[in-house]
Amino acid sequence: MRTDGTRVAGVLLAGGLARRMGGGDKGLQRVGGKPILQRVVERVRPQVELLLLNANGDPARFAELPYLKGMPVVPDGIEGYAGPLAGVLAGLDWLADNAPDITDLLSIPTDCPFIPKDLRDHMVGARDGAGAQLACARSGPVADPGDGSTEDGWQAHPVVGLWPVALRHELRHAMVGEGLRKIDAWTARYPLAYADFRDEPVDPFFNANTPEDVAEADRLAAECPGL
């Protein structure tokens, strides 16, 4: 049982158009013999209280996937494919209405086949340790430098974020009232912590955005079976 007092749900962000993949659901591309989405679910589900799928279009296309059985499919509440923030907002709104005991939402893209298996604890620890309101993931050559530095070689991953449900009204105002779309523009308004992860032997936030990326991820999975 968790003892840090934080109850975290996860939202798998699959609401984009996947233009660089030629359309369709990027997460259904296969890496290491299984769909990327299945790999992400298997890695994230044990870490969180519950898991949501943010996806637009007909949710029936996911109904026959056994690894998504019982998972709520939550579409964007803002029209026009407004980007990952729309998926975060949709997840926050769903939690407020359906799971009021959840304090935070962890957002995870569905095109990252190597998502860390300790993502939740590392994100919460980084945020709480820094006394921040938000956290996002960062990958680089050394884990946990401990000084908040942004030295060369570090790559921030704003889509992999930890979001308090209590901020949902502020996020909605920013998106609907101000037209805000960029995650960095939103997180810049609050104290933000970075959760640092090693990028060896593979960057855990490797994005399979194109067919070439999928082929590379499949090669990496074959070379590093424990990933």
Is 54 annotated as belonging to a binding site? Answer: yes
Amino acid at 133: Q
Q: Is 34 known to sit in a ligand binding site?
A: no
Q: Is 111 annotated as a binding residue?
A: yes
3-state helix/strand/coil string of 131-152? CCCEEEEEEECCCCCCCCCCCC
Q: CA 104, CA 224: separation in Å to the nearest integer? A: 32
Report which residue type is found at 210: T
CB 135, CB 153: distance < 8 Å: no
Distance, in Å, from the CA atom of 196 to the CA atom of 194, rounded to the nearest integer, reads 6
13 is in an annotated binding site: yes
- Whole-angstrom CA distances from 192 to 8, 70, 105, 148, 225 are 18, 33, 15, 10, 34
Ligand-binding annotation for 15, yes or no, is yes
158 in helix, strand or coil?
strand
| Residue 4, annotated as binding a ligand | no
Annotated binding-site ranges for Mg(2+): 111
Annotated binding-site ranges: 13-15, 26, 54, 76, 111
Annotated binding-site ranges for GTP: 13-15, 26, 54, 76, 111
